[in-house]
Amino acid sequence: MLPEPLLAQPYDRSDRVEVTVSADGCRLDAPASSDASASTGSLARDGLGLVGDPNFAAGDLPADIRCWYEALWEVLLEPSRAAYFTSRALQDDLYTYSREMNTHITALLTALRVTGDLAFLDEADRLTQHMRSVLEDTWKRGAALESGSVDGYLNWVWDRDTSREHRGRDLHEIDEMRTHSLVANVAYAFKVNAEVGSPNGVDYAERAEFWTSYLVDHFEAKWRERHDVPWPEFPFIVRPHMHETTEFIRYHHYMYLLTGREPYRDEAERMADIVLDNFVEVPTGSGPAFVTPRSVLSLGGSVRYLLPSTYVRYLYNSAVDLHLEGVGGFASDAVMEKLARSLTEFIIDDGANDFARDMGGGVDRGGVPASSASEWSRFNADRFNTSPYALLIAWDDSGEVASVSKQVFARFSVRQRDVFIPVALMLDAALN
């Protein structure tokens, strides 16, 4: 039972300021109380941590952050975009949750880190409450009648017609790993803000308690039972590809923060070392860059070609969050700069028009073969807009990612824009 009715629309804001976005950047259309000459000062906000500011006021934001903050809220409050995100949250589909909802909600939490505005956490809660409403202890569709459909654990299901094995069941390990890394992140954000309090009356303590219990007693207990891995043994799920392994570091990191159980921290650090060892450093004209095979070779993965760009976006998303949390080697700016060069030097090869198919620009790099052009395609500006590639702006000294991102964002109407580019530009303003 949910503690209160679901909300179909985001909470409204009363202090909006109109902005104009162009390929050159963002401009506040009306005078705001922000001092355009003020330094960002955002690093003083607990090192860009997830604890919100109980005294937050948009007018106190520096002008460069305020402008992209308003552009972000334009996206979130645009009725058709809000309805879209709500519908995705109600999907009861691990495929959707592990991809769109994961990156979308993580971006909202990044906006919280930069600004301290707990309205972003309240929007994350609104969406995760919709996800919570479809949790059940059963498989779906035709699988609901099968033996094993009910096992005592709440679950979501994988709901795509591309796999008869997985459809309607909670057996897709990759998307279970990725979805529940997000849930652990959100649960921790609720926990650390329980005493700060929600501007819209959300019971953060209740949310933290529910989601932590769900993660320990349902998600993790289920997979430990299935794989016969009792606590505190690790790992309890292994899928030897790069993007899901990197993502699952987040799960263990946030579970340590939620529970205080040190084996989670140790596993996060072990996994971070494995992932970083899988990167291959290659030279470029602007300095060293990282590329990686699709698989984690030390875990037995056998796919040795360069990570396709469709997966690179998820690797970047996880890496930025791990950096902001200071997890293992991901805390290093040098690591992030090398990842950013894979974007500027290899993936961005045609300005803001279209982009390369893999992390090496479709060319063998560092002894890692390129992906197959017949299997993996270039991607367009629409995917750049709706994906977290832009989050690496803060670690790109060339300014190319920022320039391309602004061009892409300006190209779309508010009804088509997404959250990643304004969040990335806010983060850049806070860090640089």
User: Tell me: the pLDDT tens digits for 92-119?
Assistant: 999 999 999 999 999 999 999 999 999 9
Q: Do the domain assignments include residue 8?
A: no
Measuring CA to CA, which residue among 13, 131, 9, 6 is closest to residue 72? 13
Q: What is the pTM of this model?
A: 0.96
Q: Do the domain assignments include residue 14?
A: no
Q: Do the domain assignments include residue 85?
A: yes
Q: Do the domain assignments include residue 7?
A: no
Going by pLDDT thresholds of 50, 70 and 90, the confidence category of residue 44 is very low
In our burial notation (b when 16+ CB lie closer than 10 A, e otherwise), range 268-304 reads: bbebbebbbebbbebeeeeeebbbbbbbbbebebebe
pLDDT tens sequence across 347-369: 999 999 999 999 999 999 999 99
Dihedral sign for Cα 255, 259, 261, 262, please: positive
pLDDT at 163: 95
CB 320 within 8 A of CB 110: yes
CB 161 within 8 A of CB 167: yes
**What average pLDDT does the segment 55-69 reach?**
95
Q: How many CB atoms lie within 10 A of CB 39?
A: 9
**What average pLDDT does the segment 174-198 reach?**
98
Q: At 352, which amino acid appears? A: A
Give me the torsion for CA of 133, 137, 138, 140, rounded to 10°. Answer: 20
- Residue matched to tokens 């090869």: 349
CB 251 within 8 A of CB 98: no
Rg from Cα positions in the chain:
21
Q: Do the domain assignments include residue 67?
A: yes
pLDDT at 32: 54
CB 54 within 8 A of CB 80: no
**What average pLDDT does the segment 155-174 reach?**
97
pLDDT tens sequence across 331-351: 999 999 999 999 999 999 999
Can you tell me the distance from the alpha carbon of 394 to that of 391, in angstroms, rounded to the nearest whole number?
A: 7
User: What percent of the chain clears pLDDT 90, i.e. is strictly above it?
Assistant: 94
For residue 150, what are the domain limits? 21-30+44-431
Can you tell me the distance from the alpha carbon of 12 to that of 387, in angstroms, rounded to the nearest whole number?
A: 25
pLDDT at 15: 86
Going by pLDDT thresholds of 50, 70 and 90, the confidence category of residue 45 is low
How many domains would you assign to the chain? 1
Q: Do the domain assignments include residue 200?
A: yes
> In this model, does residue 173 exceed pLDDT 60?
yes
pLDDT tens sequence across 30-43: 765 544 444 444 44
**What average pLDDT does the segment 197-208 reach?**
98
pLDDT at 41: 40
Q: How many CB atoms lie within 10 A of CB 100?
A: 19
**What average pLDDT does the segment 378-407 reach?**
98
pLDDT at 31: 63
Can you tell me the distance from the alpha carbon of 339 to that of 413, in angstroms, rounded to the nearest whole number?
A: 30
User: What percent of the chain clears pLDDT 70, i.e. is strictly above it?
Assistant: 97
- Tokens encoding 115: 């600004």
Q: What is the CATH number of the domain that holds 262?
A: 1.50.10
Q: Do the domain assignments include residue 5?
A: no
**What average pLDDT does the segment 309-313 reach?**
98
Q: Do the domain assignments include residue 10?
A: no
**DSSP states of 313-351 as a string?**
HHHHHHHHHHHHHT-GGGG-HHHHHHHHHHIIIII--BT
CB 74 within 8 A of CB 19: yes
